[in-house]
Every structure is written in C-alpha cells, then in structure tokens.
C-alpha cells in the first residue's frame, strides 16, 4: 500500500494511527460514515460506530472511517470526529457526485460506499467493509435507478467485503451489471449471493472460495492482469441473526406501493424502504442490521490481514 498516492491527496487528513499502519505495511480496513448521521438516533449511532471499529481491531486490523469535514477528507476518525458526526443528523449523505460540492462548501458529509472508496483509494488502502452495497433497483427498467456504488467499483481498486446488496435491490440485475463491468464477485464459504439482512438472495455467487488467503490471491491477480476496479467478497449474515427473505419480500411489496403513492424516488427511496421494512418486521431489522455490520467488519479485518500478506508478496505491484 502507498500512502496518499494520486491527485486529490492534498485534501486528505489521515489519522496518525492509519498513516503509521499504512507506512508499516499493516492491515487497514476502510469504512463508510453515512451510516452514523443516517443511522439510529444518538447515542445508539455512536455506540454502533465504536463497536464496528472494535470489531475491526479485534480481527487484527486498523479501522479507517472515511468522512468529509471542514473541506477535508478524513481517513480515520478520532473520538471527537465520531461524536460530531453522531450528533449531526442533518449531515448529508455524500456519493461520488457530491464530493466536490460538499468539500468546497466545507460542511460535514457522511460518505456512502462510492465516496468512501474514493477517499480510501486516495489514501492507498486496499480493503473496504460495508454491510450492504448499493445496486440495481427493482424498478430500474422504468426509473434507471442504479446506485453510484456500482460505477465506482469499476474505478477503485479495493477489495470490498460485504453481505451482498441491500434487501430492496434486484440481486440478479445487480450481478448482471457487475458481470458486464468486469467486477469479480467471490462468495466466502457461501454459494448464494447474500441479501444483506437475509442469508440468501436466491441468486448464486459467480465464484466461491473457502479460504481468505485464496481470495486475497485472486484479488491481487485480478489487478496484476489489468483488472481496473474492485473485487467484491460476499459473506452472509449469520442465519440466527437474519430475517427470512419471505418476510422481507412482503414488507418490500407493501412499502413500494406506499413509496409510489407518496412520490418517493431517487436517493430518498432507500431510507424510506428500510424504515418500512423495520416497521413491518416489528423492529427485527435493528438487531439484524447491528449483527451484519459487526460480522462484516470482523471478516474484513481478518481479510485485510490476508490482503496485506498477498500484496506484500508481490511488492505492491498489483497496485
């Protein structure tokens, strides 16, 4: 890994702990920040962020949460940063489209997957963790609603550890988009593409590997032969923590009708549907969301250890 390589690096504020880890070749896991101001009410959102960071540390890696503050891209947040984000519920969600505008204005911004990948790559990081990625929405044939996450996966060379795509998305169309874009999707010890809060989306992963070292080697090789984008590593929520997909599907069908009635679309649709699912499942999504956030962060920490070894064996040539 190389520290702060590339255009835009002068906008980075890299936490000392993260900078030292990158310099010494130790494993680091990048994280998004939009789930803090957009998550549960304070102080639950702060407690969750701290727990995620701990899960990464306990797995042997350094957490590097990405966010925008005072015209700078934070890579790694202090306790004061976390407190500020947790107590600013009106901080906007920032995707790649919004980065320049929010940075120039100097306001705070919680970075989504796509924007976090931009910051992580500028800082020379190789592993990113998120519970659920964005993807192709179910009404995309009419609305053209496709997450910026997918486009960013074609631009940023990171291994993205996730529990599949968010539950309200179309898994088959999402995987089809990724295939067309040449983005590898590898299931870690799972045949099916996960569905965030559910174990399975009912669609198969293109590849399955059962050893994290083998997945790291596959990612490094993908980059070495000219692969220009991300590699997705999927692993589901534990079955005991998940919500049956049938329950999710019924809640989504009902919520979609309400969203159409209320004229909700675009970036507002995801939080709208998530709240509807939470209400329909009597709050079970809160516990499931916490469980999958922690399990994904822990897995990413362990995977970052393997990625660091794999990149070290190539002398960083894959990057």
pLDDT digits (tens, 9 = 90+) for 233-242: 999 999 999 9
Specify the pTM.
0.92
Mean pLDDT confidence for 252-258 = 83
Cα(309)–Cα(27) distance, rounded to whole angstroms?
A: 9
Indicate if the pLDDT at residue 317 is higher than 50.
no
Name the band, by pLDDT with cuts 50, 70 and 90, for residue 247. Answer: confident
Name the band, by pLDDT with cuts 50, 70 and 90, for residue 277. Answer: confident
- Asked if 47 is an active-site residue, the reply is no
Indicate if the pLDDT at residue 266 is higher than 60.
yes
Name the band, by pLDDT with cuts 50, 70 and 90, for residue 111. Answer: very high
List pLDDT tens digits, range 29-80: 999 999 999 888 999 999 999 999 999 999 999 999 999 999 999 999 999 9
Q: Which residues pair with 175 in a beta bridge?
A: none
Does 2 belong to an annotated binding site? Answer: no
Name the band, by pLDDT with cuts 50, 70 and 90, for residue 265. Answer: confident
According to the model, what pLDDT value does residue 88 have? 95
Pairing of strands 62-69, 72-75: antiparallel
Name the band, by pLDDT with cuts 50, 70 and 90, for residue 8. Answer: confident
Share of the chain above pLDDT 90, in %: 76
Residue 71, by phi and psi: left (phi above 0), alpha (psi -120 to 50) or beta? left
Among residues 87, 65, 75, 169, the alpha carbon closest in space to that of 122 is found at: 75
Pairing of strands 62-69, 28-31: parallel
Active-site residue, selected from the candidate residues 32, 54, 83, 275: 32
According to the model, what pLDDT value does residue 7 have? 55
Q: Exposed/middle/buried for 242, CB within 10 Å: 0-12, 13-18, 19+?
A: buried
- Asked if 166 is an active-site residue, the reply is yes
For residues 127, 8, 180, 193, the Cα torsion angle rounded to the nearest 10 degrees is 30
Active-site residue, selected from the candidate residues 24, 54, 166, 239: 166
According to the model, what pLDDT value does residue 248 have? 85
Q: Which of 30-34, 263-267, 297-301 has the lowest mean pLDDT?
A: 263-267
Length of the chain: 319
Does 149 belong to an annotated binding site? Answer: yes
Helix, strand, coil % in the chain, rounded to nearest 5: 45, 15, 35
According to the model, what pLDDT value does residue 249 have? 85
According to the model, what pLDDT value does residue 171 have? 96
Does 255 belong to an annotated binding site? Answer: no
CA–CA distance from 182 to each of 41, 51, 230, 307, 315 (Å)?
A: 38, 34, 9, 20, 25
Cα(116)–Cα(34) distance, rounded to whole angstroms?
A: 9
* Angle at which helices 212-224 and 284-313 cross, to 10°: 60
According to the model, what pLDDT value does residue 90 have? 93
Q: What is the mean pLDDT of the chain?
A: 92
Structure token pair of residue 272 = 């709208």
Cα(225)–Cα(105) distance, rounded to whole angstroms?
A: 40
Domains and CATH numbers, the chain: 9-313 (3.40.1790.10)
The gap from C-alpha 70 to its chain's centroid, in whole angstroms, comes to 23
Among residues 314, 317, 307, 313, the alpha carbon closest in space to that of 127 is found at: 307
Cα(85)–Cα(282) distance, rounded to whole angstroms?
A: 27
């Amino acid at each position: 890994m190389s520290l702060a390589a590339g255009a835009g690096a002068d906008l980075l504020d890299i936490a000392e702990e993260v900078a030292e880890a990158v310099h010494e070749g130790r494993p680091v896991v990048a994280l998004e920040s939009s789930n803090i101001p957009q998550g549960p009410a304070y102080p639950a959102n702060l407690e969750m962020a701290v727990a995620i960071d701990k899960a990464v540390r306990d797995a042997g890696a350094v957490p590097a949460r990405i966010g925008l503050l005072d015209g700078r891209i934070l890579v790694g947040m202090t306790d004061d940063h976390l407190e500020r984000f947790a107590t600013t519920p009106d901080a906007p969600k920032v995707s790649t489209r919004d980065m320049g505008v929010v940075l120039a204005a100097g306001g705070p911004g919680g970075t989504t997957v796509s924007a976090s990948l931009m910051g992580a790559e500028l800082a020379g990081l190789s592993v990113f963790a998120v519970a659920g990625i964005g993807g192709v929405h179910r009404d995309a044939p009419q609305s053209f609603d496709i997450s910026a996450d997918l486009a960013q996966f074609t631009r940023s060379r990171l291994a993205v550890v996730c529990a599949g795509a968010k539950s309200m998305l179309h898994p088959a169309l999402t995987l089809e988009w990724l295939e067309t874009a040449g983005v590898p999707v590898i299931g870690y010890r799972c045949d099916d593409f996960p569905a965030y809060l559910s174990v399975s989306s009912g669609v198969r992963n293109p590849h399955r590997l059962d050893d994290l070292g083998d997945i790291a080697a596959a990612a490094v090789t993908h980059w070495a032969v000219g692969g220009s984008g991300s590699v997705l590593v999927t692993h589901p929520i534990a079955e005991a923590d998940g919500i049956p997909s049938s329950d999710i599907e019924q809640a989504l069908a009902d919520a979609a009708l309400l969203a159409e009635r209320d004229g909700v679309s675009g970036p507002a649709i995801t939080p709208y549907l998530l709240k509807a699912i939470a209400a329909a499942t009597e709050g079970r999504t809160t516990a499931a969301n916490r469980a999958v956030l922690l399990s994904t962060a822990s897995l990413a920490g362990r995977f970052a250890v393997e990625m660091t070894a794999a990149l070290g064996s190539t002398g960083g040539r894959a990057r």
